[in-house]
Amino acid sequence: MPEQKRTTETRYLSGQGEVEWSQLRKEAGELTCAWADYEGFHIGPCPDEAPPYSHIWGWSRDGEVLLRGRIDAGRVIAGWLRKTPGGGKKEKEVPTVTRQVITWKPDHERLKINFTGEKANWPEKMQSVEVLGENPVTFIKEEKERS
């Protein structure tokens, strides 16, 4: 496997606390999101209803704003990671490392996953952005040519 590019940088982390799904959906309206439900795995606009499985990830087109949410019974605890400050008074400056991740493609032969949506809309490359330190957490985003 070829050596994977990784970058380190400072980003800004903020937590939202537990909120209703409808509130998160409004705030994530401009993001591309990834989640799973009984139909399969999705990448697209934030869904109208909270998915039945535990997590949702989101990213802005430019990768400046990232979302990670933990879903429980229609409510969600969300974390936001930004390249520039903008998450409120409790926002914290944190070190991060960004790496390319290996993804399962819709036509993968070994593992059968029900991918929903158009295959043409699936990102070719994805990245993990990991907050380093005592409480590590991972955000996911689409990899663009320049990260």
Q: How is the chain split among helix, strand and coil, in percent rounded to 5?
A: 5, 50, 45
**pLDDT over threshold 80, residue 2:** no
Tens digits of per-residue pLDDT, 85-107?
987 778 999 999 999 887 766 66
**pLDDT over threshold 80, residue 3:** no
DSSP for 102-133 reads: ----TT-SSS---B-S-GGGS-S-EEEEEEPS
> What distances in angstroms separate CA 91 from CA 15, 35, 67, 81, one per listed residue?
8, 25, 14, 9
- Type of residue found at 7: T
Write down the pLDDT at residue 146.
44
Write down the pLDDT at residue 128.
93
